């Protein structure tokens, strides 16, 4: 069963982050994988892990073990070889999504505070872990590790301020005209297939091009702790960040 591929203009989860269950049609099948018309899953990328969850049908369910894109189709790998067709229900695990969104929000806050404190520090890498810690790497050759540890207070102040987080679409030209919008030293800007750049706006603090999921306000994040700062090469400073309170439970 195959249908014509359609351009993937943007992810469903980028417009509807709060919808974690969705009925959808299977558009193509392979052994152990299905392509669907629409999916609430974040596929992973930009340092954020893919969503965890299940695909359910009338008589059963399977875990989603991987997501990849081919010719405009979003393929979901499953831990079953059951032959499927018709309508299925995709269910994203809410606890894991919340943790990823919370850590991605904190990563933006950390980057914004460092960017302001150290005159435009560029991001050289980021990774959100599955145990509630994250790391961000910054190009800061002349900054001491203790100076980065001292940013903890400013980061927690942004959390307490409960700033709104919203999303704006811009053309590539518009985005490039705004200094500081692209923060990565080595990664190309995340441009949608429709030519627009998705910008995450922490109102009154920071704007960055990004394709991941985030909280709706900074106040929904827990207070953080800077757990460790390391030198990774002559230029790179790595911050490991965790939370001062227990994790989210659904």
- Listing DSSP states for 3-15 in one string gives -------S-HHHH
Yes or no: say if 114 and 140 are a contact pair by the CB < 8 Å rule.
yes
The first and second tokens of residue 127, run together, are 């990774």
Q: What pLDDT sits at residue 179? A: 75
The first and second tokens of residue 73, run together, are 């189709």
Yes or no: say if 41 and 53 are a contact pair by the CB < 8 Å rule.
yes
Beta pairing class for 53-57 and 87-92: antiparallel
Q: State the average pLDDT over residues 68-81.
A: 93
pLDDT band at 8 (very low <50, low <70, confident <90, very high): very low
In this model, does residue 12 exceed pLDDT 70? yes
In this model, does residue 24 exceed pLDDT 70? yes
Sign of CA dihedral 102, 108, 112, 113: positive
Domains of the chain in sequence order: 14-92 (2.40.30.130), 97-243 (3.30.980.10)
| Mean pLDDT computed over every residue of the chain | 89
Neighbours of 99 (CB within 10 A): 21
What are 97-110's pLDDT values in tens digits?
A: 999 999 999 999 99
Give the Å distances, CA to CA, from 63 to 51, 81, 175, 179, 245.
11, 12, 38, 42, 29
Find, among 117, 106, 147, 125, the residue nearest to 238 by Cα: 125
pLDDT band at 2 (very low <50, low <70, confident <90, very high): very low
């Amino acid at each position: 069963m195959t249908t014509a591929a359609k351009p993937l203009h943007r992810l469903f989860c980028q417009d509807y982050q709060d919808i974690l269950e969705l009925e959808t049609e299977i558009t193509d099948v392979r052994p152990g994988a299905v392509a669907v018309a629409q999916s609430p899953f974040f596929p992973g990328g930009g340092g954020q892990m893919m969503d965890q969850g299940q695909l359910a049908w009338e008589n059963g369910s399977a875990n989603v073990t991987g997501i990849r894109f081919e010719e405009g189709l979003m393929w979901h790998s499953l831990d079953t070889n059951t032959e499927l067709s018709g309508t299925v229900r995709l269910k994203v695990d809410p606890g894991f999504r919340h943790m990823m969104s919370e850590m991605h929000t904190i990563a933006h806050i950390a980057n914004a505070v460092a960017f302001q404190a150290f005159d435009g520090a560029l991001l050289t890498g980021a990774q959100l872990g599955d145990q509630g810690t994250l790391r961000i790497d910054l190009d800061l050759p002349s900054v001491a590790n203790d100076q980065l540890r001292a940013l903890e207070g400013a980061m927690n102040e942004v959390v307490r301020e409960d700033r709104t987080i919203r999303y704006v679409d811009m053309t590539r030209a518009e985005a490039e005209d705004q200094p500081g919008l692209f923060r990565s030293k080595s990664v190309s800007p995340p441009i949608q297939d429709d030519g627009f750049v998705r910008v995450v706006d922490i109102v009154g603090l920071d704007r960055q091009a990004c394709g991941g999921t985030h909280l709706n306000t900074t106040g929904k994040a827990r207070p953080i702790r800077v757990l460790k700062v390391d030198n990774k090469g002559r230029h790179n400073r790595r911050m490991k960040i965790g939370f001062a309170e227990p994790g989210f439970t659904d």
